[in-house]
Amino acid sequence: MTDVIKRNNVRIIGQGEQSIIFAHGFGCSQNVWRHLVDVYKTKFKLILFDFVGAGQSDLNAYDIKKYSSLDGYTKDVLEILEALNIKNALYIGHSVSCMIGVKAAIAQPSYFSKLIFVSPSPCYINDEEYIGGLDKEDLKNLLELMDNNYLGWSSFLAPQVMGNLDRPELGEELVSNFCATDPDIAKEFARVTFLSDNRSDLVKLQTDSLTLQCSKDILAPLAVGYYLEKKAKGNTLKILEATGHCPHLSAPEEVIAAISAYINGA
């Protein structure tokens, strides 16, 4: 258990009977959940962690073969819950971690009561009838820029992803998060994230879920939310007024209100 806790810098906050596990997205760390933590720590047991390569995780635990697909990250989530003997947890994931949650719930459904997706995408690439948000050529160019100039890539992409350009401090926080992530690991995780196609997993999911979809998001357009609602059994779609890809940072009050309503069955 100690190895798992240290590897992923696991922290437990609160004493509630119901557990919530928060899974951050690419280029971030558990700190992005701070607004939600402040609200839910009085009623829930909160489990926070960093994926290997992010935050205060153990960089020595990174294995390029293990983390060459989302399966390696999924395994880590399940190992954390197993080590803590957690069942029927609420899972709140952002971006790529939404599909990690889908995979985890398919593998071990008893570990989860509900899944909450913040800005999810089962596939980021446009494909015939499917609108994922990115053309293959655009993605190829982004990954090449990342390889050639990671800091420049971070400074260019982060504000675009965050949206809310009238609030530059939000984009600056995301740039800082990107730059605090190990660049070599980040490059591999980016490829795993943006080249993954998890559309076939959605039909296997038996756990009820909520999708929080921003009204404008360059990485996950509205069509993605409707697709997920259609394909995932028991999925509820909530379109937020918030814009950008990180509403838990840019519009935490709206995100918290939507999550609380869903949890309480309102």
Which residues are the active-site residues?
95, 217, 245
Instruction: State the CB neighbour count (10 A cutoff) for residue 8.
Output: 27
| Residue located via tokens 């009561």 | 113
Cα 236 to its chain centre, rounded Å, is 17
| Dihedral Cα 114, 71, 177, 4, nearest 10 deg | 80
Residue 99 backbone phi and psi in degrees, to 5 = -75, -30
Residue 148 backbone phi and psi in degrees, to 5 = -85, -30
Return the amino acid letter for 7: R
Sign of CA dihedral 138, 55, 169, 248: positive
Tell me the C-alpha distance between 104 and 131, whole Å: 25
Q: Work out the burial of residue 169: count CB atoms within 10 Å of its CB; fewer than 13 is exposed, 13-18 middle, 19 or more buried.
A: exposed
Tell me the C-alpha distance between 171 and 216, whole Å: 16
* Helix intervals (H) in the chain: 2-7, 34-40, 70-83, 96-107, 136-148, 150-162, 168-180, 183-195, 199-202, 222-231, 247-250, 252-263
